[in-house]
């Protein structure tokens, strides 16, 4: 193992010890080190960092994010090796734009689930259908769904324990139909045996835990087969949009039923695993219908105050 890869292993271990996951950072930095090794370079330099950061096609924000990842790693190495060059802040600039949520309709979710039939085996079809269904009815992140163990499902009490960001866990109450669907998935006769020590709830055809990149690729095939098309360059159907759709539907239901919006928003924030309710507020902008209902309630409040 090269000194660069040793340094990367140490860097990741230190940051993960304080709660960071760094999956994307690990991928980026592994690619950057491979780039250096191909050129016979054993030291991080500003020129190589910038050249690697802008190498793939993409928007300026993506390039800036890649360089920022290298910059953090370089700063870590520079503390013990002054010869390591740290890219200055602001070398690459670009404001990343938040994607416009693609809010799924019931018909579109049904089409995605039906599209899983394109896969060659019944188990793979059932797995992708379970993934889509679980994301839709819980609003959890894909990484959280793939990180579930069989023991995280409490069938008796209808509760799912989710291991979220920053090492935090939360318990999600499930509808009985969701509990039944997960139970059927676990009891499937074609479910492959898992290797010793593997406890994953959702498994591949090898019985191992699913890999996010493979699931995303499979979703891309399902999306195309279901005929889902981007609504604009900034609004494309993604797996993460199942989470947005869940949040918007929850708030729409609260407005329509006359529930306490502040209280419902706080509950939704906890259910989604946000650190604070303010992180959930931006969902209000995701749906014109939701904005209209919010405006109507504001007008009624103003009228009552008068």
Among 48, 209, 243, 244, which one carries the catalytic annotation? 243
Among 48, 71, 123, 141, which one carries the catalytic annotation? 141
Closest CA to 171 of 182, 160, 181: 160
Verify whether residue 156 is a known catalytic residue.
Answer: no
- Measured CA to CA, the distance from residue 246 to residue 253 in angstroms comes to 11
Among 163, 170, 240, 264, which one carries the catalytic annotation? 240
* 55: Cβ contacts below 8 Å, ≥ 6 apart: 35
Percentage helix, strand, coil for the chain under 3-state DSSP, each rounded to 5: 60, 5, 35
Name the token pair of 239: 């797996």
The length of the chain in residues reads 306
Q: Are residues 252 and 258 in contact, defined by beta-carbon separation less than 8 angstroms?
A: no
Among 165, 225, 238, 264, which one carries the catalytic annotation? 165
Closest CA to 130 of 181, 189, 188: 181
Verify whether residue 274 is a known catalytic residue.
Answer: yes
Verify whether residue 217 is a known catalytic residue.
Answer: no
Q: How many CB atoms lie within 10 A of CB 239?
A: 21
Separation in Å, CA 230 to CA 65, 107, 224, 289? 24, 16, 11, 20
Verify whether residue 165 is a known catalytic residue.
Answer: yes
Q: Are residues 77 and 7 in contact, defined by beta-carbon separation less than 8 angstroms?
A: yes
Enclosing H/E stretch for 65: helix 60-78
Catalytic positions, written as ranges:
141, 165, 240, 243, 274, 283
């Amino acid at each position: 193992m090269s000194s660069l890869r040793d340094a990367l292993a140490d860097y990741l271990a230190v940051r993960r010890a304080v709660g960071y996951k760094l999956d994307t950072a690990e991928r980026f930095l592994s690619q950057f080190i491979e780039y250096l090794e191909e050129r016979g370079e054993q030291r991080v330099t500003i020129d190589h960092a910038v050249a690697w950061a802008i190498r793939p096609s993409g928007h300026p924000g993506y390039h800036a994010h890649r360089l920022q990842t290298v910059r953090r790693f370089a700063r870590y190495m520079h503390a013990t090796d002054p010869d390591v060059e740290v890219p200055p802040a602001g070398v690459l600039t670009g404001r990343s734009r938040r994607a416009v949520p693609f809010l799924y309709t019931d018909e579109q979710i049904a089409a995605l689930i039906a599209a899983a039939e394109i896969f060659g085996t019944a188990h793979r079809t059932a797995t992708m259908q379970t993934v889509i269904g679980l994301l839709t009815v819980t609003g959890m992140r894909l990484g959280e769904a793939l990180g579930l163990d069989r023991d995280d499902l409490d069938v008796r009490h209808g509760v799912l324990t989710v291991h979220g960001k920053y090492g935090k866990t939360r318990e999600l109450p499930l509808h009985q139909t969701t509990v039944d669907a997960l139970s059927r998935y676990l009891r499937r006769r074609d479910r492959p045996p898992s290797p010793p020590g593997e406890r994953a709830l959702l498994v591949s055809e090898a019985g191992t835990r699913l890999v996010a990149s493979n699931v995303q690729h499979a979703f891309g095939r399902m999306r195309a087969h279901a005929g889902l098309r981007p609504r604009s360059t900034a609004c494309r159907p993604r797996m993460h949009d199942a989470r947005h759709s869940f949040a918007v539907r929850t708030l729409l239901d609260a407005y329509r039923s006359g529930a306490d919006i502040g209280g419902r928003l706080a509950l939704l924030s906890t259910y989604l695993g946000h650190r604070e309710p303010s992180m959930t507020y931006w969902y209000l902008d995701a749906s014109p219908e939701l904005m209209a209902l919010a405006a109507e309630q504001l007008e009624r409040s103003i009228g009552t105050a008068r």
